[in-house]
Chain A
Amino acid sequence: MKQIPILNKYPLINREISWLYFNRRVLHEALDANVPLLMKLQFLAIFSSNLDEFYMIRVAGVKEQIAAGYRPDDIDEIPPEELLTRINLLSQQLMDEQQNIFISLKNECKKKEIIFVDKIEGEILEYAEDIWLQEISPAISPVTIGQTNPFPFIYNKILTIFVELRKGNLTYYSIITLENLERIYKIRLNNKIFILFAEQIILKFIGRIYYGYSINSYHVIRITRNADLTIEEGAEDLMESIEQQLSKRKKGNIVRVETNSALSNNGVIFLQKKLNFNSKDILFIKGGILDLSFLNDLNIDRPSLIYKPLKQYIPADIHLNSSIFKKIKTKDIVLYRPYSNFTVITKLIEISAEDPYVIAIKITLYRTNTDSGIVKNLIKAAHNGKQVSVIIELKARFEEEKNVEWAKLLEDSGCIVTYGFMNLKLHAKNLLIIRKENKKIIKYCHISTGNYNEITSKIYTDVDYITAEDSVGIDISTLFNNLMEYSDFSNYKRISVAPAMIRNDIIKLIEEEIKNAKKGKAAKIIAKINSLTDKKIIFKLYEASKSGVKIELIVRGICRLIPGLIGISDNISVKSIIGRFLEHSRILYFHAGGKEKIFISTADWMERNMDGRVELLFEIFEIEAKEKLKKILEYNLKDNTRSWILQKDQYSKTASSSSDTLFNCQEYLMEHPL
């Protein structure tokens, strides 16, 4: 076991390292025999995109710490220089592993007549030449650097070919950026699919570009830039500030340089001079194919090589017409995506847009999809005279550009649009429909752990809760008044809101378990979350474990807590489920002396969620809904096919003995919706 840093006398896994472990678990899905072939490729793609984002945000942060001369307060925290070295080392290992898996999957693909072409030759050569002549050659602009040709700007994540040339005694360097090109070209021939990479075709015909030069070497490189947005303090117009920052993002500092082959010393020096990066930032892709995120967009129609279709259900007693309001008043509705159909929510908005009794609709938008039906119906509602208020989180990472567009579109359509707060990200997902029924105001609230996104609703697991409970309606109205800055009053009774409340409430709930355990009563906590890094909560969990509270954590991603340490965390177990669907719901269970308190939440147990975001924690009172949520936790804990168990600081896939019945939580929920 590697050295575990000790903070405040309690052990913690480093956050970045833990994240890399998570991405390794994602990568290992591509090794799982139960995962269909094309889906395995998709996991390789997800691994790549995840790692890109990690470098653009997290590694960029570490590099900023180094630049600022930051020293951690706690001597046990890893200093940023050392952390960067460890990150690069582990990333290199993971990327090597990814390439090896890709090589092996390419062989499997070949058996299925999907051929990733290694060498352009034979009959493929002719097709490749056509592509070169018709599509690539006219689109690229090679730049040979010289006095009249300055080094071109290379954008974030753009594949680039770096060529070292000679003419006479002089060495020249040339750059070809693969902007505005398809990454792959598919050739269908004799019932086979041949896949060629754009860079592969360019390199095949590179001699035609540099006529009169001798080509010393060429390399495919890809740079990753810092893409974290910094909203300037005191910025008066958030929208304007975001728009300015978006253009800056494209030009952020370089945090990683990937290359498919070793660059010459002179080549490195030249590039460093032009691009300003450190030699430690270079990661070498041994397999030769950079950026496997394209594997997400193969679009190969082979049903036998993908997951079986997802059948999403709509509860039989819910009719998607205005009777739904009556239904909600009778009983709260709890749905679990993606097994349940998100249409229930989109339709609810659509019905509200047309319903003559609906007077107002309010919604938070964090990430929504292109061509969003929700946005269309909000616009329709505004046209129909409803007051529509939309709070768009302009700062939702990598959604900023899209969200600025939504904001303008909605505003132009007569909706009241606000953008949350300068210094807080709005992460709570809420919909409030206000209806006037027989001269009485009824508030219908939708509280969710997931985004209003019709696409991800088919991939992410999330809880949707719809209620007409008065006290919830009052609190959600208050929340919207706060978010729209109409009011500072925030005396919530039914919901807990971060920052300020959620961490305290969670700690209180843990303390209640500690108290019960000390009295010899049953004490148990189950938490299904995406990440666990908040030190105050972690230390409280250690304290609870020491007091005898049984704690079962289902943490998909980063987990800084180390379970199973004698005398510290031996009552804590941690598992991570990685599967077809991205586990995204946050569900909490506290035994509470037999009262069994169940919550849903948008907040991960991370400092950023507790202190830097507007998050929601909501206790479920209705017995039937509580039972459903308990079932979800039960199935997650029971899963022994998609689960990874954290032991000390290492994850291992559950090794079910032959006597164990295999249980795949996600598949079970597909077949047995709640």
Chain B
Amino acid sequence: MHISEFTGKTEKTLEYLVKPLSVGKDTFSEGYISLENVYKAAEILNGFSKKLDEYDLWKNYMALCTSGVREAANRYFFIDHIKINTGIELKILEPSDEIYIKYLGVKYAMPEIDNYEENGLLFTNISSGNIFINILKKKKLILSEALPYGSLRLTQIFKDIPVQKQHKAYEQDIGKMVFTLKNLLPKKMNIKNVVSSGSSIAVLTDTLKPQKDIITKKDLVSAYNKIKEMNVHEIIDRFKLRQSQVEILIPTLITYLKIMDFAGVRFFYFSRNTFPYSMSLYYSKTIKDPGLYNRFKNTLYYIGEKYSFDKNHAKTVVKFALKIFNKLKKIHSLKWKDRHLLESACILHDIGYIIEPKYHEKHSYNIIKSIEFPGYSKEFIEMMAVISFLHKEKHDINKDEVSVKLPIEKRLIVYKLSSILRIADALDASHNQLISDLDIKIESNAVHIKANAKKYPYLEHLSFNNKSEMFTRTFGADITLETNSDFK
């Protein structure tokens, strides 16, 4: 528990509380949290609730659960029990949000991370249940994965293997994880820096006691070689660690060594910032990420390229769609965030072509839905996928099952943005960028688009006629297309 006081953007830590309870141990081995631990958690959180009383924070707190609860079969019972017995409302944090908050926390503590990102950065957060890996280069998120290889989880998976052999099992399992990562990464990808955070850092710093916020591979190897020959009591005695830390020490050391081998680095930077501290900064809006949208956009183009999309078409559709969006501001009354949504959908609306042109919108939908990008919610990605799906005129927002799953208020946004995407897509229906620019005029009940075209865009006109119907229904205004008369 981290309690902060904010004066403007200045954070002052009032209190920090830690009470370890391995609910993850239950979840990762049995699939649910034992009743005993549910009660223990309630007892601990009851103590924390006294702090909410003390500072009168009941309207101003955030209590989040990560993998230990998120993956437990009885998570809703757990959350309900805590609410009834302590008054604290727990929320489950999605993995992508978890990594994003952790990443921002590190970024706040380590401003130089921007430079590392430019040259190739592997950001990792090794917690009890998962290993989060983000690989960034030149303002693009090359890879973002939440892998179920957290140190505590590994100890539970291999708990039945004799202690002396467990390290071999960990090595093999983490080796498999690295193999997966290698396959996901472009061949010539060069990572220059590794930055880490997470609960594993405390274990490492307590063991290695580094003077600066850097851990070298040499130190890790030396510690690992010593520790794997020692028993639990010897480790506790030698390194003054808690029993719970010793349990995860070996898998933690192996994981770091494997990640360093994978990245080809001799040392990594780490941040001692705790997750609750990062949460505190994030939810108080103390840390912002102005580069987020650009990074996201760059990543979408990067994904598009991976699927050999028509980049010029995508860019053209983006250009037209945004122009229409901007011009129609008074009519659509959408927000800046929705403009991002439109742009994102425009970039990848045709990405499914590579699988099958006929039903490409369905494939686009599936591919987009699978994107996980720290900082963007599942809902945003879902809406983006639905907008892309609906760019094909045969689909109806009120009938297609992909869209009816969305809540009504979101459906309305999707409807408006899909209408715009359809028009923008129609204006480059030939994928030849025949139309170079638009002039948009709004009259009482009609929107008139005057397009500058290199030659008469037959296909665009045809497509426009087919696709404009949804626009008319959505905005209650006719939309017309007129191209340069020279070509008539």
In the complex, whether B401 has a CB less than 8 A from a CB of chain A is no
Flag if A486 contacts B12 (CB, 8 Å): no
Interface centre among A389, A481, A488 (most CB of B within 10 A): A481
In the complex, whether A455 has a CB less than 8 A from a CB of chain B is no
How far apart are the CA atoms of A477 and B14 in the complex, in Å?
Answer: 8
CB A503 to nearest CB in B, in angstroms, measures: 15
Flag if B7 contacts A440 (CB, 8 Å): yes
**Chain A contacts of B47 at CB under 8 A?**
484-487
How far apart are the CA atoms of A389 and B53 in the complex, in Å?
Answer: 12
Flag if B17 contacts A489 (CB, 8 Å): yes
CB A415 to nearest CB in B, in angstroms, measures: 12
- B17, B19, B48, B54: the one within 8 Å of A387 (CB): B54
User: Given A359-B54, A434-B54, A440-B5, are A470 and B12 also a contact pair (CB < 8 Å)?
Assistant: yes
In the complex, whether A260 has a CB less than 8 A from a CB of chain B is no
Q: How many residues of B contact A (CB 8 A)?
A: 20
User: Given A359-B56, A474-B14, A477-B14, are A487 and B50 also a contact pair (CB < 8 Å)?
Assistant: no
How far apart are the CA atoms of A485 and B17 in the complex, in Å?
Answer: 10
In the complex, whether B76 has a CB less than 8 A from a CB of chain A is no
User: Given A359-B56, A440-B5, are A489 and B16 also a contact pair (CB < 8 Å)?
Assistant: yes
Flag if B12 contacts A487 (CB, 8 Å): no
CB B350 to nearest CB in A, in angstroms, measures: 53
Chain B contact surface mostly: mixed
Flag if B19 contacts A487 (CB, 8 Å): yes
- A359, A474, A485: the one within 8 Å of B15 (CB): A474
How far apart are the CA atoms of A434 and B57 in the complex, in Å?
Answer: 14
**Chain A contacts of B56 at CB under 8 A?**
359
**Chain A contacts of B18 at CB under 8 A?**
487-489
Interface centre among B7, B13, B51 (most CB of A within 10 A): B51
How far apart are the CA atoms of A127 and B56 in the complex, in Å?
Answer: 67
From 1 to 60 in chain B, residues with beta carbon under 8 angstroms from any chain A beta carbon are 1, 5, 7, 12-20, 47-48, 50-51, 53-56
Chain A contact surface mostly: mixed
- A416, A441, A488: the one within 8 Å of B50 (CB): A416
In the complex, whether A360 has a CB less than 8 A from a CB of chain B is yes
**Chain A contacts of B50 at CB under 8 A?**
387, 389, 416, 484, 486
In the complex, whether A478 has a CB less than 8 A from a CB of chain B is yes
- A416, A441, A489: the one within 8 Å of B55 (CB): A441
Closest partner residue, chain B, to A500 (CB atom): B240
- B5, B13, B19: the one within 8 Å of A486 (CB): B19
CB A499 to nearest CB in B, in angstroms, measures: 14
From 66 to 115 in chain B, residues with beta carbon under 8 angstroms from any chain A beta carbon are none
CB B214 to nearest CB in A, in angstroms, measures: 21
**Chain B contacts of A360 at CB under 8 A?**
54-55
How far apart are the CA atoms of A139 and B93 in the complex, in Å?
Answer: 74
How far apart are the CA atoms of A379 and B14 in the complex, in Å?
Answer: 25
How far apart are the CA atoms of A484 and B20 in the complex, in Å?
Answer: 15
**Chain A contacts of B19 at CB under 8 A?**
486-488
From 274 to 330 in chain A, residues with beta carbon under 8 angstroms from any chain B beta carbon are none
- A416, A441, A470, A486: the one within 8 Å of B17 (CB): A486
Chain A 352-368, CB-CB to B under 8 Å as 1, else 0, gives 00000001100000000
CB B35 to nearest CB in A, in angstroms, measures: 19
How far apart are the CA atoms of A416 and B15 in the complex, in Å?
Answer: 19
How far apart are the CA atoms of A474 and B51 in the complex, in Å?
Answer: 14
CB A594 to nearest CB in B, in angstroms, measures: 26
How far apart are the CA atoms of A171 and B51 in the complex, in Å?
Answer: 71
How far apart are the CA atoms of A487 and B51 in the complex, in Å?
Answer: 11
Flag if A481 contacts B15 (CB, 8 Å): yes
How far apart are the CA atoms of A271 and B20 in the complex, in Å?
Answer: 57
How far apart are the CA atoms of A487 and B48 in the complex, in Å?
Answer: 9
Flag if A387 contacts B53 (CB, 8 Å): yes
User: Given A440-B7, A478-B16, are A486 and B55 also a contact pair (CB < 8 Å)?
Assistant: no
Closest partner residue, chain A, to B49 (CB atom): A486
How far apart are the CA atoms of A387 and B51 in the complex, in Å?
Answer: 10
How far apart are the CA atoms of A478 and B1 in the complex, in Å?
Answer: 12
CB A398 to nearest CB in B, in angstroms, measures: 31
CB B271 to nearest CB in A, in angstroms, measures: 16
Beyond A440-B7, A487-B17, 14 extra complex contacts between A and B, CB < 8 Å: A359-B54, A387-B50, A387-B53, A387-B54, A389-B50, A441-B5, A477-B15, A481-B17, A486-B17, A486-B47, A487-B1, A487-B16, A488-B18, A488-B19
Give the 8 A-B CB pairs with smallest separation, nearest first.
A487-B17, A486-B47, A489-B18, A360-B54, A387-B54, A477-B15, A481-B17, A441-B5
A selection of 18 A-B contacts at a CB cut-off of 8 Å is A359-B55, A359-B56, A434-B54, A440-B5, A441-B55, A474-B15, A477-B14, A477-B15, A481-B17, A484-B47, A486-B17, A486-B47, A487-B17, A487-B18, A488-B18, A488-B19, A488-B20, A489-B16
Measured CB to CB, the residues of B under 8 A from A are 1, 5, 7, 12-20, 47-48, 50-51, 53-56
Measured CB to CB, the residues of A under 8 A from B are 359-360, 387, 389, 416, 434, 440-441, 470, 474, 477-478, 481, 484-489
